[in-house]
Structure formats: structure tokens, C-alpha cells
Amino acid sequence: MISPHNYLLRASCMVAAVWIGPALAENLPEPVGHVARVEGAAYISSRGYTNAAKVGQAIVPGVGLSTGAEGALGVILGDGSVLSFGPHSELTLDDYRFAPAADELRLRATLNRGTLNLIAGDMARLDPQAISIETPDGRIGVRGGQVLMKVGP
């Protein structure tokens, strides 16, 4: 038998979850892509947490993507752009917005180290100025097609 005290505690927790849950969910950015391939050590960092990457995992703006010594990672973004990383790579997806109807097209990322093979999707076709990759040595504008870059030794 459930005592009145336990019943009230459970009811209070349910009300708190219903009230707080949506407020927390509103702060989460919308997914802009997903992990398509993982080989070896590959990680996703967001909001101070780092976890092993998994195929199908959502990608959101602000996320950090990294690979270990034997790692590789493939990501597909909403416009069909493909990002592939080799070993010892580290990239932050600084900003991504693919909303052609609102004339909002941008992909901004920072490649700190490693290799990146970027196959530009619809965004580059619609706005050749929309894709930009920062590196420790400068900025690379991607005007379409495929770009392979390496940062570091």
C-alpha cells in the first residue's frame, strides 16, 4: 500500500518533470546532421561532455568532433555535405544553418588538427560564400566540390 507521503512525493516529482522537462528541451539546439561512420576511437564533445561517437548520433552546432590515433569519423549534414576525418583530427562545428527559404546558409567550422575531407552539398551550390573552415594558419573558403585539408605536422 502506498502511504499518502509517498504518493505526494511521487506526484510532486511527476509535476516537476512535466514542468522542467520542456524548459530544458527548449535549450537544446536542433540536430543539423548525423554520424554516418565510426572507425576506431572517435568522439563527440558537447556542453562539457565527451562521449564515444556512434553511428546515427545527432550532430548539433557547437559540437566538437575528434578522432584518436587509429580513428576515423564521417558526418553527413542537412544539406548533404559530408565531413570525413582521419586519425588525430579535431574539428569544432562553430555554426551551421541550412534554411534556403529564409536565405540562411552557413557552415562555419574550425579544424584545429588532423585531416578533413569535405564534400560540399547543396549549400555550396546555392551560396558559394556560405562555407568557411578556420585553421590555426588562416581561413579556407569552400566554393563547392571536394576539399581535402591537413592541419598540423
CA–CA distance, 18 with 143 (Å, rounded to integer):
46
Does any domain span residue 96?
yes
The answer to whether residues 100 and 147 touch, using CB atoms and an 8 Å cutoff, is: no
Q: How many Cβ atoms from other residues are within 10 Å of residue 126's Cβ?
A: 13
* Residue 24 maps to a domain: no
- Considering the domain boundaries, does residue 18 fall inside one? no
Name the residue with higher pLDDT: 146 or 2: 146
Q: Which pLDDT does position 26 carry in this prediction?
A: 57
**Looking at the domain assignment, is residue 3 inside a domain?**
no
Mean pLDDT of the chain: 87
11 in any annotated domain: no
The answer to whether residue 69 is domain-embedded is yes
Please name the residues in contact with 109: beta carbons below 8 A apart, sequence gap of 6 or more: 83, 91, 92, 93, 94, 132, 133, 134
pLDDT at 144: 83
Who has greater pLDDT, 8 or 136? Answer: 136
DSSP string, 43-55: EEEETTEEEE--T
Are 75 and 82 within 8 A, CB to CB?
A: yes
Mean pLDDT confidence for 4-17: 47
Q: Which pLDDT does position 68 carry in this prediction?
A: 97
How many domains is the chain built from?
1
Write out pLDDT tens, residues 92-123.
999 999 999 999 999 999 999 999 999 999 99
